[in-house]
Structure 1
């Protein structure tokens, strides 16, 4: 069987022997049919906000506002959404001062080239963009204490504006349950200290901090608190398919609109696990598969369907390298994943170190599975140093997996690991 999988900005066709294949676990998002254009879908959501006044009503009488938008690591189609929102805002309030705050969270700043790719040339070159820097304390203000006990530090611009809104997209998230909604604030525009406290080892280890789970998820509860303290007044969250096209949108109240969006995503993304000896996954292609750090997300989908002791084949370009120095160092400097887990579980919440959550989850996976990273755009030595195997091609990886698990091994394919909820 041939299966098309995303890789960077292109696709690969991989072949799986029919006798070995036990399942292709795919979101139904690619099969979701609508007669509406992307622009019409977004406009419909803005015309029918959930639990909120319309955006146009909220901006009347305001002198300034901030729109939080995602950074380069998220495939939010801002070239579709932002022009529509900006036009609606200025139609009722032409003089309002609008600043667009890039929610970098704990990531590096977004480049101008990435901004143009994400937002479109017109918006990127004509609007006021402000980059969030989580470690620049003079740009942050303390606004409270999280339910977890950590200090809540948020971007001053977001806190001081008359109206704060956010755009984003909703997909399954490997420890926050779902992306979107409240995540624009925490970790999006939160201080480094706050992000670290929210991503502590105790929370990451919680059985409720998993893909598709919001109820009793301690990470989600912190995020809700942060969005409330920031007075996030309105959200526009889209749902996209494998081609990064908008197939649905939800606007309105930061909690209610997000919850409706999560229900819709669940209806498309939930797939039944199969018992596999070898699980193949991707990180959905560009921009999510640019580094090893992000690729851990796609691995968790394979983890959910692979038998313990099995092999995970992870197809991700990782052209941007490891994605976090602390992430790399803590994996590479350890003798193995068990040493990493032993160390991380002893770290108190208020002493969480950068990228801890990511190497904790990677170590969890590596303690139970052999991971073969497939890429021809990343240094193999970097991958090997992080206790994974490397293959330049899928065929090479599959042959290695057969060597480990036998020629009769059962294989499951997750063409887009970040788009599914495997149960």
Structure 2
């Protein structure tokens, strides 16, 4: 028997799988965190990819905007931001710097969260503006995206003399990777621009998948937005499960991001044999607090599980479904297939909030059964969303074997949000 552990909330759930069923356990191979976090960033800034030094870019500039991730992203800003500020002022001592919080579609970051993110000194001494995607007074139009949607971003970013961004790179389930150009779109874009970019047509694209940028229509719009906004420099990091920096990349927004994505792909890529049953998780707390977030881990199961198979995901979902629109659209649908057909008919300009999330879950459910393993969430609610539920991994495995037979092959992907399944598909 092989024992498998899956992160769940702040602990793990375990199960034993017979050797005759077990295909293997597949995890990312991220190296240990850098011994000196600040030095890793400093070295990246000293040797920028495809770009002059940041202090050289700043020379003669009167203003700069640094786009910073918001409270929902574990970017180590306490390490990144002081170095960016110091180099800007080294290059142009009198430069007027604004830190613009890239909230995207999220709520505004609070004062307390700014202190937690940057530390008391930066939160108190620096000019910080929190982006609001619905506040038209903050926004300005820069034209039209390749998709046809209007490109509207924060006016501060559009009008500054030097635009740069901090961020981190991780696998993303429809943009391919986070980081780089995502600081602009969706980070500091208008609500209507984000919705146009996340349209059903693009989410449906086979290229809008984890680890893939080539021919990805969502990435194409994002890249265009960053270039049009004149994003000039990025400082991005890869972080481990302990949220410490593993690698740092700085320089040209396209070249530095590409180097970071290539590095992460080497570490996070896992070749998983096609399985009848995939056992996975969403990384535990805080990523497994609701069904909405757990969809990300399910996409790793989708990539590894055959059609007609079963995805078992361990996720606490202690906060429930994670979004009323997300829940309602699934619960009110006669079937996942019916919901998919309805979403497919929604034009680019009529995308509704959370549409992409229930579209992806419906896509998964239309081809595979999903069993959510949770002790902290109402099983009846999950069933109304066309999901199945179990309280333990052995119980879920028993349900899957009952459906597929005792010889069904099982692959384990303990942390579905940290891997890129089958890297040969990632162009």
TM-score of the pair, normalised by structure 2: 0.91
In structure 1, runs of 5+ residues without a counterpart are none
Maintained 8 Å contact 2:208/2:217: yes
Aligned residues: 420
Maintained 8 Å contact 1:292/1:318: yes
Maintained 8 Å contact 2:293/2:322: yes
For 2:425, the equivalent position in structure 1 comes to none
Give the C-alpha shift of residue 180 in structure 1: 0.9
In structure 2, runs of 5+ residues without a counterpart are 423-427
Secondary structure of residue in 1 paired with 2:182: helix
Distance, in Å, in 2 between the alignment partners of 1:112 and 1:7 is 30
For 1:5, the equivalent position in structure 2 comes to 6
For 2:48, the equivalent position in structure 1 comes to 49
Distance, in Å, in 2 between the alignment partners of 1:314 and 1:138 is 43
C-alpha offsets along residues 33-52 of structure 1, whole Å, 9 cap, x if unaligned?
57642222111111110111
Give the C-alpha shift of residue 216 in structure 1: 1.3
C-alpha offsets along residues 152-179 of structure 1, whole Å, 9 cap, x if unaligned?
1111122122221111111221111111
- Within 5 Å, give how 1:160-179 maps onto structure 2: 160-179=159-178
Q: Mark the CA change 1:397 to 1:91 in structure 2 (over 3 Å): closer, same or farther.
A: farther
Give the C-alpha shift of residue 300 in structure 1: 0.7
For 2:28, the equivalent position in structure 1 comes to 27
Maintained 8 Å contact 2:34/2:245: no
For 1:154, the equivalent position in structure 2 comes to 153
For 1:274, the equivalent position in structure 2 comes to 273
Give the C-alpha shift of residue 298 in structure 1: 1.2
- Within 5 Å, give how 1:204-243 maps onto structure 2: 204-243=203-242
Q: Mark the CA change 1:153 to 1:322 in structure 2 (over 3 Å): closer, same or farther.
A: farther
Maintained 8 Å contact 1:74/1:287: no
Maintained 8 Å contact 2:142/2:151: yes
C-alpha offsets along residues 57-81 of structure 1, whole Å, 9 cap, x if unaligned?
2233333322112223322222332
Q: Mark the CA change 1:333 to 1:121 in structure 2 (over 3 Å): closer, same or farther.
A: farther
Maintained 8 Å contact 1:4/1:11: no
C-alpha offsets along residues 182-236 of structure 1, whole Å, 9 cap, x if unaligned?
0111111111111111111111111111122111111111111100111111101
For 2:336, the equivalent position in structure 1 comes to 337
Secondary structure of residue in 2 paired with 1:367: helix
Maintained 8 Å contact 2:331/2:384: yes
Distance, in Å, in 2 between the alignment partners of 1:227 and 1:35 is 29
Distance, in Å, in 1 between the alignment partners of 2:116 and 2:286 is 10
Distance, in Å, in 2 between the alignment partners of 1:276 and 1:90 is 54
TM-score of the pair, normalised by structure 1: 0.92
Distance, in Å, in 1 between the alignment partners of 2:175 and 2:146 is 15
Maintained 8 Å contact 1:73/1:287: no
Secondary structure of residue in 1 paired with 2:17: coil
214-223 or 284-293, which deviates more: 284-293
Maintained 8 Å contact 1:75/1:287: no
For 1:103, the equivalent position in structure 2 comes to 102
Distance, in Å, in 2 between the alignment partners of 1:131 and 1:375 is 36
Secondary structure of residue in 2 paired with 1:101: strand
Q: Mark the CA change 1:109 to 1:288 in structure 2 (over 3 Å): closer, same or farther.
A: farther
Distance, in Å, in 1 between the alignment partners of 2:374 and 2:401 is 19
Q: Mark the CA change 1:121 to 1:403 in structure 2 (over 3 Å): closer, same or farther.
A: farther
Distance, in Å, in 2 between the alignment partners of 1:377 and 1:138 is 42
Q: Mark the CA change 1:72 to 1:228 in structure 2 (over 3 Å): closer, same or farther.
A: same
Give the C-alpha shift of residue 377 in structure 1: 4.1
Q: Mark the CA change 1:146 to 1:368 in structure 2 (over 3 Å): closer, same or farther.
A: same
For 1:313, the equivalent position in structure 2 comes to 312
Give the C-alpha shift of residue 84 in structure 1: 2.8
Give the C-alpha shift of residue 4 in structure 1: 4.1
Distance, in Å, in 1 between the alignment partners of 2:120 and 2:405 is 51
Distance, in Å, in 2 between the alignment partners of 1:381 and 1:119 is 41
C-alpha offsets along residues 289-344 of structure 1, whole Å, 9 cap, x if unaligned?
34322221111111111121222122233344433332222112211211110101
Q: Mark the CA change 1:145 to 1:121 in structure 2 (over 3 Å): closer, same or farther.
A: same
250-259 or 351-360, which deviates more: 351-360
For 1:356, the equivalent position in structure 2 comes to 355
Distance, in Å, in 2 between the alignment partners of 1:118 and 1:312 is 35
C-alpha offsets along residues 7-41 of structure 1, whole Å, 9 cap, x if unaligned?
34x33152332423212111111xx2576422221
Secondary structure of residue in 1 paired with 2:88: helix
Distance, in Å, in 2 between the alignment partners of 1:124 and 1:66 is 15
- Does residue 203 (structure 1) correspond to residue 193 (structure 2)? The answer is no
Distance, in Å, in 1 between the alignment partners of 2:318 and 2:67 is 27
Secondary structure of residue in 1 paired with 2:106: coil
C-alpha offsets along residues 335-355 of structure 1, whole Å, 9 cap, x if unaligned?
121111010111111112222
For 1:389, the equivalent position in structure 2 comes to 388
Distance, in Å, in 1 between the alignment partners of 2:314 and 2:90 is 45
Q: Mark the CA change 1:121 to 1:404 in structure 2 (over 3 Å): closer, same or farther.
A: farther
